[in-house]
């Protein structure tokens, strides 16, 4: 049976000088979410954009915004990203002083809550709260930059997570982020991921629509 895989192109690899155009291309694609990588230069060694830019580009999108927050002291910013138009807000456990409270806050803002685990962060950080969230984002690179090499060791976490979710019939998505291309997408899918984030693979050779279709059907 063919599983329904969702694709979340990361606009980190899009042309920042033409974001309106880039969003409209994605509107006409088979993408399911638009993955928005927010970096603060502290939690990760790169800096991208914040709520004002997200708010502007959200107006042009017909697809949900999957906002991946890689920022320290995340608690104080949840409301701004919610107001800017995030549909899913994903945070790293290391960036909050109280994970339960942060999840409750995201849910109380009417948003879907995701937890992201870096390659060296164990599933123990997410399992205790799994029933209160909508998505787990397994990082298959150390976050910060597009174009890095996929770390296959993280697939074990995907497998364990998928088994638990299926066994307990939980409504939680398993998303994977970093180094996804046609080959690694197949591995991630086989391990149980149902949402694939891709930056470099989507924006290669100026063939966004075709690349998304290939990933979706691989």
Long-range contact set of residues 136-139: C-beta below 8 Å, sequence gap at least 24: 136/161, 136/172, 136/173, 136/174, 136/175, 137/68, 137/90, 137/175, 137/176, 137/177, 137/197, 138/174, 138/175, 138/176, 138/177, 138/193, 139/177, 139/178
Tell me whether residue 177 is one of the annotated catalytic residues. yes
If one counts every other C-beta atom within 10 angstroms of the C-beta of residue 103, the result is 21
Contact between 14 and ligand DX5 by CB under 6 A: the answer reads no
- Greatest CA span in the chain, whole angstroms? 46
Contact between 197 and ligand DX5 by CB under 6 A: the answer reads yes
Contact between 198 and ligand DX5 by CB under 6 A: the answer reads yes
Site track for ligand DX5 across 47-86, x = CB under 6 A: ---------------------x------------------
Contact between 37 and Zn ion by CB under 5 A: the answer reads yes
Dihedral angle computed from the Cα positions of residues 71, 77, 83 and 84, in that order, rounded to the nearest 10 degrees: -30
Residue 200 binds which entry of ligand DX5, Zn ion, none, CB below 5-8 Å type-dependent: ligand DX5
- Work out how close the CB of 150 gets to Zn ion at its nearest, in angstroms, rounded to a whole number: 14
Contact between 177 and Zn ion by CB under 5 A: the answer reads yes
- Work out how close the CB of 71 gets to ligand DX5 at its nearest, in angstroms, rounded to a whole number: 12
Whole-number Å distance between alpha carbons of 85 and 57: 9
Q: 34, 64 in Cβ contact below 8 A?
A: yes
Tell me whether residue 120 is one of the annotated catalytic residues. no
- Work out how close the CB of 158 gets to ligand DX5 at its nearest, in angstroms, rounded to a whole number: 16
- Work out how close the CB of 1 gets to ligand DX5 at its nearest, in angstroms, rounded to a whole number: 27
Q: Which residue's Cβ has the minimum distance to ligand DX5? A: 199
Contact between 204 and ligand DX5 by CB under 6 A: the answer reads no
Considering only residues 93-132, where is the footprint of ligand DX5 by CB under 6 A? none
Q: 39, 144 in Cβ contact below 8 A?
A: yes
Among 199, 211, 212, 215, binds ligand DX5 (CB under 6 A): 199
Contact between 177 and ligand DX5 by CB under 6 A: the answer reads yes
Q: 191, 166 in Cβ contact below 8 A?
A: no
Chain residues in the site for ligand DX5 (CB under 6 A): 10, 12-13, 35, 37, 68, 141, 143-148, 177-180, 197-201
């Amino acid at each position: 049976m063919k599983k329904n895989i969702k694709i979340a192109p990361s606009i980190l690899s899009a042309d920042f000088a033409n974001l309106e155009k880039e969003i409209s291309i994605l509107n006409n694609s088979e993408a399911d979410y638009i993955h928005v990588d927010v970096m603060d230069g502290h939690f990760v060694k790169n800096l991208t954009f914040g709520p004002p830019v997200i708010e502007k580009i959200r107006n042009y999108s017909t697809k949900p915004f999957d906002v991946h927050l890689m920022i320290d002291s995340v608690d104080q910013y949840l409301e701004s990203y919610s107001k800017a138009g995030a549909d899913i807000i994903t945070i790293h456990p290391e960036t909050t002083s109280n994970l339960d409270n942060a999840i409750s806050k995201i849910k109380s803002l009417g948003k879907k809550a995701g937890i992201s685990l870096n390659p060296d962060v164990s599933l123990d950080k997410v399992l205790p709260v799994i029933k209160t969230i909508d998505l787990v984002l397994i990082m298959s690179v150390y976050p910060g930059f597009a174009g890095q090499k996929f770390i296959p060791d993280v697939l074990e976490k995907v497998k364990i997570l998928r088994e638990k979710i299926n066994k307990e019939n939980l409504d939680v998505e398993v998303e994977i982020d970093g180094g996804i291309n046609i080959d690694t997408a197949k591995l991630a899918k086989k391990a149980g991921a149902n949402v694939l984030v891709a930056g470099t693979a989507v924006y290669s050779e100026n063939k966004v629509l075709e690349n998304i279709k290939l990933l979706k059907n691989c």
